[in-house]
Amino acid sequence: MARLLLLNKPFGVLSQFTPADGHPGLADYIDLPGVYPAGRLDRDSEGLLLLTDDGSLQAHISNPRFKLEKTYLAQVEGDATELALEQLATGVTLKDGPTLPAKARRIDEPDIRPRVPPIRERKNIPTSWIELTIREGRNRQVRRMCAHVGFPVLRLVRIQIGEWSIDALKPGEHRQMNVASPKAKPRRSHSVKRKPRPARKRPPS
């Protein structure tokens, strides 16, 4: 069994144990040896960060080829339109290429704790909330996707990765569970067995 930690990472905290550039690290919230982040969450994003002591599970969670769904709640500047949601769902073309189709829908303001510090809102410009589920893990992908369709992200909270959800964890809280470790699949041999060549017949002398 592998040990898995679910952390509600607060805003401004790095996805590493050591602090840097005046920003706190995970050591301020987790005092358990031998666990490491499976993937990352930007410093200015909040929500679910998974940590584990199992290398196979870490790779399964963080490697994009396994395509675990990641669900985010994004507070965006402006009144998100159906056209923008359709573009997000279909996929948009960013500087590093087109994104895969996503699940996107507009939602009411979620019942989550206010961010500390609060977001900066501009007068006379409304904000709205989008729930977005992706299967990729590009750098700042959700922020770039929303900006591409005209709705910059003001606040971003990840609430789920695969089957694991943040549930009622408060910012800075974590819970621990034991899960089955993914078994490494044996590598297939690429060697090809060659058929023996038939013996050459000598010409008659």
Joined together, the tokens standing for residue 138 give 């590009």
Single-letter residue type at 4: L
State the amino acid at position 43 in one-letter form. R
CA-wise closest residue to 44 among 116, 147, 130: 116
Place of tokens 């706190």: 24
Instruction: Let me know: does 71 contact 158? Beta carbons within 8 Å.
Output: yes
Provide the token pair at 205.
Answer: 């002398």
Residue tagged active-site, from 21, 42, 108, 167:
42
Q: Give the amino acid at 41.
A: L
Q: Is 42 a residue of the active site?
A: yes
Report how far Cα 89 is from the mean position of its chain's Cα atoms: 17
Q: Say how far apart CA 55 and CA 155 lie, in whole Å.
A: 31
Q: Is 170 left (phi over 0), alpha (psi -120 to 50) or beta?
A: beta
> What tokens were used for 94?
């960013």
What positions carry a catalytic annotation? 42
